[in-house]
Copies of this chain bind each other. A is one copy, B any other.
């Protein structure tokens, strides 16, 4: 685990909330000299504790319906085929704009976060694009309705 003290953590929490704040605004909030805050942020960046600065897009650009999909491939006799097949599905999915995230899940599985304008369109997308894939053993779709933690996830993941 990273060696961070209370001041480092306080700075990180503030930047998570609003990364546009100036050094002097952060210094004022934390009642510390600007030079200290400047030095700490510089160190946090150098150590890659802060990896990136980014934006979260507003509701207007976010899909209204969200789901997590788990896909499990049939285990074939030739192992190498499974590997290539999983890679191929992952790559195909990752190119689609309403697929917000794709990850491998174990040896024979994929998890994806999918968004669309309405639950109906989302279901149609899953039926047309995922359930129609050959040699799948299992497809599970879990709608994601209302976040109580991590709610900015959608605005973070959505592309433009």
Contacts and interface: CB of A to CB of B under 8 A. Distances in A.
A60 B12 CA distance: 14
Interface residues of A, number: 60
A101 B143 contact: no
Interface stretch (A25-33, A120-128, A144-152): A144-152
A76 interface: no
A20 B152 CA distance: 19
A16 B102 contact: no
A26 B104 CA distance: 35
A39 B53 CA distance: 21
Contact of A54 (B19, B49, B99, B100): B19
Interface string A113-148: 100000000000000000000000000101111111
